[in-house]
Structure 1
Amino acid sequence: MRRSTDYFLSSHGGNLPLPESLSSLLPNAKENEAAIAEELPKAVDWVVAKQMECGVDILNDGEYVKAAHPGTYAAYIFDRISGYSTIDRPEGLEPKRYFTAERDRRDFPGFYESGLWFAGSGGPVRPGFVAPGGGWRGIMDPKPAKIRACTAAVTYHGYDAIQKDIDALKQALIGKSGVDGFIAALGPLSLGAGIHNLHYKDERDYMFAVADCVREEYKAITDAGLILQVDEPEFATTWMFYPDWSVEQYRSHLDFCVEIINHALRGLPEEQIRFHMCWGSGHRPHVNDIEFKHIVDKLLKIDAQAYSFEHSNVRHAHEYHVFEDVKLPEGKILVPGVVGHYTDLVEHPELVAERLLNFARLVGMENVHAGTDCGIGSRVGHEEIVWAKLKAMSEGCRIAAKRMKGK
């Protein structure tokens, strides 16, 4: 990935607003499958142009292929792999773990029972939203009648699908100078860790098979000369799933996670890999998020060149201080979120610059890119706000560069 001592490069978490020509087809995605396939390359051309208008340097395809798979950022992958089935929950099978915000739920039971929150990994609550069933159990039933489980060998067969994604982005980048392209792909933890293994002899064998599976998608992206972003929010959010673990138990678990992730990345060019993690930044208190200082050394063991993470989130905006004590390894790049997806407020460029400078003064300007906390396309209230946030980020990059150079 590019680095510079003259300016701060800017990027984002991946998810971006869709043009009306594509979004209008999605409510009936199955029926409109052929029309969506035809529209997708034109939509990618549009979103690449929009990102360039906003001054984004490392841009993507808007994650449009994932928009046809409503539910979570992970849903798209199940069209590209085999080995998983939806089955009746076996009698006596206990949940593998708690839900996304269990530690917070224990401290704020009234908030979660009210239903006035968002269950997913990111996004604000819109006025009038109430969780189905009147509370968190309406969305996250701990013992559903049906479960998705691993019932056969986990294998990847999505070669044609990922090639279409690659072709659409590369075509949109033809003739565009000064920008680089990235494609986001699901991390092995986010694919496999929450699903019951009913096929492999143990969790280790299962997760290594998952890593082998997702590596096929990763390799297609890097072989095409694009930057791979590995989306792995579970690196931090798993702390919430196991609310009775100590910090040391969690750190031990992360050693296994790093092993799995690096197995998925083995042999791939580190300079084309960006690793994204977050704290599952939904609309909730976040007072029990694992602190960055407890996991940053584990994060830096992942075989990526760049590390994208939440920083504008108010529970984590102070954590640049960890790099007063932690030395960034040679050649690595930090991509802190300098604008957020959890609020419709547009960050001031001066604040963006301040956030960038906090890192640059500790690790060097050439080792810092500007990013967003997570994907912002479906998280904030209107696409106008998304583009305004990206423009504010780019302007903040310019301000920060002038200050780093004493101008």
Structure 2
Amino acid sequence: MQRSEHRILTTHTGSLPRPPALTRLYARRVRGEPVEEAAIAAAGREALHAIVPRQIECGLDVINNGEQQREAFALYLRHRLSGIGGRGERRGWADVDAYPEFKAAFQQQSAAREAVSNTEHLPAAIGPVAYLDRGAVEAECADFRAALAGFEGRYAEAFLTAPSPGIVATTVQNRHYDTEQAYLDALGEALRVEYEAIVGAGFLLQLDCPDLALERHSAYRDRPLADFLGFCERVVATINRALAKVPRERVRLHVCWGNYEGPHDADVPLADILPVLLTAKVGGLVLPFANPRHAHEYRCFERMPLAADQVLVAGVIDTLTNFVEHPEVVADRIERVARVVGDPRRVLAGTDCGFDTAAGRGRVAADVVWAKLRALSEGARIASRRLFGGG
């Protein structure tokens, strides 16, 4: 994992806007409507080949496939794992339920979209979970490698995402295993295939772990904090076992409180979960510091510093508002984080979360997304001049 040796490197958190036609195909398939798989595959590859140069044109250094060939950041696994089927359920979010007027508006807005949902049409674990065919992730890696051809030297590194066992366990309801731990163990073994394949193909692996924050106000909303922290510890232990053959410097771990516009006043503080996050055997953390609820929490690293070999990808762009951040604001945010970390070489600038974590659910218009990413790059250039010197 490259560091910001001479300037602040820029990246993002995974999902980027999908073309409307591709989104419609994904949404129809999730609803159970007949869709030609060949049409989805072709549209996904076309979107992939368009998304790579767009990132480079915006000045991003560490880029990915935009998750164009996946319907959602975690639920794409329903097509890659055995034992997944039927219909499952998922608890809602405590902060949304606490504001009935907001909840009604939120549901109305969601219902009006042609989109894939992370809370509806959910499958369940109804049999033994295993990775069906390594060829699925290998094909995705090969497609990404093909899309990168011809852009050598125009980006620093490339990454692919994969979900944590914990977010799959809480999204895909367990109806098969006797215990939560048995389910996590099975998911960890299955996902090990994906983790190792991504790194084996030469890409960085980003683990998407919203469960390590989000589930405090969802699955664990009515239980003591200690119970939730115990869940986090079990998930991180499962992740560490799944990464046993993966060099830690090839992995970054993303945590957030849910990529939705809401009150978020039921969010668990970063200070409560950071000690657990720091036990993950990864080369860096990816955390949101741009949104109004968590912008102050970079200060946690004053008391609980990263390991000497780790980096911090600081979210300095909000993925839920159509405001385009001023580059000076972006630079200020980067500099604050760099001061706390103590070494700007160990800081990268990124986004709070993905812009389209489930196809069609993005809050930010596609043209605004690219403007925000250009602001990210310009802000990083300003911060680099101040932190590293030079013109």
TM-score computed with the length of structure 1 as normaliser? 0.85
The corresponding residue for 2:381 is 398
Q: Which has the larger radius of gyration?
A: 1
Q: How many Å separate the matches in 2 of 1:380 and 1:98?
A: 22
Q: How many Å separate the matches in 1 of 2:179 and 2:336?
A: 44
TM-score computed with the length of structure 2 as normaliser? 0.88
Matched, 1:14 2:5: no
Query: Structure 1 vs Structure 2: percent identity of aligned residues?
Result: 35
Matched, 1:204 2:211: no
SS in 2 for 1:117: helix
Paired amino acid for 1:330: A
Give the C-alpha shift of residue 406 in structure 1. 4.2
The corresponding residue for 1:136 is none
Decide which of 367, 370, 375 is 2:354's aligned counterpart. Answer: 375
Q: How many Å separate the matches in 2 of 1:27 and 1:359?
A: 39
Q: How many Å separate the matches in 2 of 1:13 and 1:130?
A: 23
Q: How many Å separate the matches in 2 of 1:297 and 1:49?
A: 38
Decide which of 311, 314, 320 is 1:336's aligned counterpart. Answer: 314
Give the C-alpha shift of residue 151 in structure 1. 2.6
Give the C-alpha shift of residue 181 in structure 1. 1.1
Q: Tell me, yes or no, if the aligned pair for 1:380 and 1:386 is still in contact at 8 Å.
A: no
Paired amino acid for 1:162: V
Deviation per CA, 1:44-103: give whole Å up to 9, x if none: 22211110000111111110111xx3xx5322110001112316x8xxxxx7x732x12x
Matched, 1:63 2:52: no
The corresponding residue for 2:368 is 385
Residue pairs, 1:162-177, within 5 angstroms? 162-175=137-150, 176-177=152-153
Q: Tell me, yes or no, if the aligned pair for 2:78 and 2:85 is still in contact at 8 Å.
A: no
Q: How many Å separate the matches in 2 of 1:381 and 1:321?
A: 28
The corresponding residue for 1:98 is 91
Paired amino acid for 1:235: L
The corresponding residue for 1:362 is 340
CA distance 1:130–1:106, change in 2 (3 Å): closer
Decide which of 55, 68, 79 is 1:51's aligned counterpart. Answer: 55
Give the C-alpha shift of residue 204 in structure 1. 1.1
RMSD of aligned alpha carbons: 2.5
The corresponding residue for 2:109 is 129
Q: Tell me, yes or no, if the aligned pair for 1:338 and 1:393 is still in contact at 8 Å.
A: yes
The corresponding residue for 1:117 is 106
Residue pairs, 1:78-97, within 5 angstroms? 78-86=78-86
Paired amino acid for 2:382: I
Q: How many Å separate the matches in 2 of 1:322 and 1:214?
A: 30
Residue pairs, 1:304-319, within 5 angstroms? 304-319=282-297
CA distance 1:397–1:268, change in 2 (3 Å): same
Paired amino acid for 1:98: R
Q: How many Å separate the matches in 1 of 2:244 and 2:20?
A: 40
Name the count of aligned residue pairs: 373
SS in 2 for 1:285: coil
Deviation per CA, 1:206-258: give whole Å up to 9, x if none: 21111111111111101101111111111101110222333333323322121
The corresponding residue for 1:346 is 324
Q: How many Å separate the matches in 1 of 2:317 and 2:24?
A: 28
Deviation per CA, 1:133-158: give whole Å up to 9, x if none: xxxxxx979xxxx9743232111014
The corresponding residue for 1:40 is 44
CA distance 1:317–1:172, change in 2 (3 Å): same
Paired amino acid for 1:397: A
Greater shift, 19-28 or 156-165, is seen at: 19-28
Deviation per CA, 1:361-389: give whole Å up to 9, x if none: 12111111111111114523421101101
Q: How many Å separate the matches in 1 of 2:98 and 2:180?
A: 31
Q: Tell me, yes or no, if the aligned pair for 2:289 and 2:315 is still in contact at 8 Å.
A: yes
Paired amino acid for 1:111: F
Q: Tell me, yes or no, if the aligned pair for 1:116 and 1:131 is still in contact at 8 Å.
A: no
The corresponding residue for 2:167 is 190
Q: How many Å separate the matches in 1 of 2:6 and 2:165?
A: 36
Q: How many Å separate the matches in 1 of 2:368 and 2:174?
A: 42
SS in 2 for 1:193: helix
Structure 2 unaligned segments of length 5 or more: list them: 113-117
